[in-house]
Amino acid sequence: MKTLWVLVTASIFLWSAPVFAKYCMVKPEDKSTSCVFTTKRNPKDAQIVISYTRQGWSMMIAVFLKEFAMLDGDSKAKTKKGEMHELRFVNIRRDMTMNRRMMEAPVYLVDEALLHDMANAKGKVRFWLMAEKPKDEVEVEFSSGLFEELGEYIAETKMVLGDLFQDE
């Protein structure tokens, strides 16, 4: 009988979603949960990270340039056949890399519709990031294949962070 209870308890633990989570990490000891989507392959001069915060979906686009472009302000994104989406500017981090390139990583609040468009895009996903220098916008292009698993990420994030989504 004792063995049966151990097996039942073990199976419940093993079948729980956070244990098998691909994108979300749950740390009960720290009382923290984080769900982050990063692309496996990146363009030479950019990286992207998508996460969920209490304020909604956020997207950080790190751009590596020869000199600072002073990215600042709301920006735009568009898929090949999709509509234009607004990216609401929140914050930015600036730094210099080891190979003397300037890294600017603006963080934007985005809507879930954009994430679904990116997951279903056939072609390129383009971002026009508002900049002060050297021109008005910095264009960053990603292959839509990088976002094919974005639907899985959204579903897993909603399951693991379900309480946050109920507040919306």
Structural domains of the chain ordered from first start? 2-166 (2.60.40)
The number of C-alpha atoms within 13 Å of 42 and in the hemisphere containing its C-beta is: 14
- Whether 36 and 50 have beta carbons less than 8 Å apart is answered as yes
Residues 43-101 pLDDT 10s: 678 889 999 887 889 999 999 888 888 888 899 999 888 889 999 999 999 998 888 88
Q: What are phi and psi of 67, to 5 degrees?
A: -145, 160
Q: What whole-number distance in Å separates Cα of residue 5 and Cα of residue 93?
A: 51
pTM for this entry: 0.79
